[in-house]
Amino acid sequence: MDVIGGVATRRRPRTGRFGRRWIAASAPSQPDNAPLYPISRPSCCGIGDCSADQASRHTCGSSLGFILLGLLIFSALSVSPAHADCNAEPRAGVNWAGCDKRGAELQEADLSRALLRRIDLTGADLHSAILEGAVVTDAALDEADMRNARMRRVDFGASRLARARFHGANLQDARFVSASLPEADFSEANLGGGRLDSADMTAVRFTTAELSDSSFYNAQLRGADFTDAVASNADFTRANLEGARFRDADLSGANLSHVNLENADLQGADLQGANLDSAALAGADFTGANLQRADLRDASIRGTIFDEAKLGNATWIDRSHCRPRSVGACD
C-alpha cells in the first residue's frame, strides 16, 4: 500500500507487454493521525479462515510446533522414571525407582548399579546384599537392615535412614550428603573416603568404624559415639559434635576447625597434628589424649580438662607454642 498525495492507494496487478505490472487503485483516505504502517491483524491460528494470510499461517504453524514440543517435554518429565519395573526380580542394574518395597526380603541380593531413587525400603532386610554403585537418593530406608552389605560408592544422598543398621558394611566412598540418619548404627563399618556432609547423624554409632579421609563437613553429630573409631585425616569442619564420645579414637591429622565439641569425651584419643582452630571445647575431656603438634589457636577451653594430655609442640589458644614435653598444660 502506498500514499500518493495524501491518499492511500493499493496496487493491483495488470498484465502488459512486458508481463505483469502494478498500478495504484484509490482507497478511502485515512485520517492524518493514522499509523504509517497498517496494523497487522491477529493470527487466528486455526480458528476461522486464515487462508488469505500466508505469513499468519506460517506463524501459526511455528507456534503450534513449539506448543507440541513443550507438551512432549512436560509429559516426559511428569511420568515415572523411564522403564521402572517394580515387579522385576532383584538383579544388577534393576530399575526400581519410586517403587514400594517396604519390608522386602533382599538378603544377599545383587543390586549393584541399581536405580533406586525415591524407593521405599522401610524396614527392608538387605543383610549381606550387594549395592555397589547403586543410586538410592531421596529414598526411605528407616530401620532397614544392611548389616555386612557391600555398598562401595553407593549414593544415599538426601535419603531417610533413621535407625538403619550398617554394622560391618563396606561403604567405602559412599555418599550420605544431606541424608537423615539419626540413631543409625555404623559400628565396625568401613566408611573410608565417604561423604557425609550436612547429614543429620544425631546419636549415630561409629564404634570401631573405619572413617579415614571421610568428610563430615557441617554435619549434625550431637551425642554420636566414635569410641575406638579410626578417623585419621577426616574432615569435621563446622560439625556439631556436642556431647560426642571419642574415647581411644584415632583423630590424627583430622580437621576439627570451628567444630562444637562442648562436653565431648575425648579421653585417650589420638589427636596428633589435628586442627582444632576456633573449636568450641568448653567442658570437653581430653584426659590422657595425645595432642602433640595439634593446633588449638583461638579455641575456647573454659572448663576443658587436659589432665595427663600430651601437648608437646602444640599451638596453644593464644598462638604460643607448647614445649616438646608439655603434659597436662601448655608450658
- Digit-coded pLDDT (tens) for 270-302: 999 999 999 999 999 999 999 999 999 999 999
> What is the secondary structure of 25-69 as a DSSP string?
EE-----TTS-SSPPPPPP-TTSS--TT-HHHHHHHHHHHHHHHH
Per-residue burial over 189-203, b if 16 or more Cβ lie within 10 Å, else e, is bbbbbbbbbbbbbbb
For the domain spanning 221-331, the CATH number is 2.160.20.80
Question: H/E/C letters for each residue in 114-151?
Answer: CECCCCECCCCECCCCECCCCECCCCECCCCECCCCEC
CA distance 157 to 195: 9
Q: How many CB atoms lie within 10 A of CB 63?
A: 13
Query: What is the reported pTM?
Result: 0.76
Task: Please state the φ and ψ torsions of residue 110, each to the nearest 5 degrees.
Answer: -95, 105
Confidence of residue 204 (pLDDT cuts 50, 70, 90): very high
Query: Is pLDDT at 192 greater than 50 in this prediction?
Result: yes
Q: What is the mean pLDDT of residues 200-205?
A: 98
User: Any idea which architecture 96-186 has in CATH?
Assistant: 3 Solenoid (2.160)
Residue 82 has a pLDDT of 59
- Name which residue leads in pLDDT, 192 or 9: 192
User: What are the residue ranges spanned by the domains of the chain?
Assistant: 96-186, 221-331
With cut-offs at 50, 70 and 90, classify the pLDDT of residue 83.
confident
pLDDT in tens, 131-145: 999 999 999 999 999
**Confidence (pLDDT) at 61:** 54
The pLDDT value given to residue 54: 52
Output the average pLDDT for the chain.
86
Q: What pairing do the DSSP bridges indicate for beta strands 19-26 and 2-4?
A: unpaired
pLDDT score of 37 more than 90:
no
Give the pLDDT of residue 304. Answer: 98
What is the mean predicted confidence (pLDDT) over 114-120?
98
- pLDDT value of residue 122: 98
Residue 16 pLDDT greater than 90, yes or no? no
Q: How far apart are CA 100 and CA 238, in angstroms?
A: 36
Give the pLDDT band of residue 8 (cuts 50, 70, 90): very low
Quick check: do 96-186 and 221-331 share a fold? yes
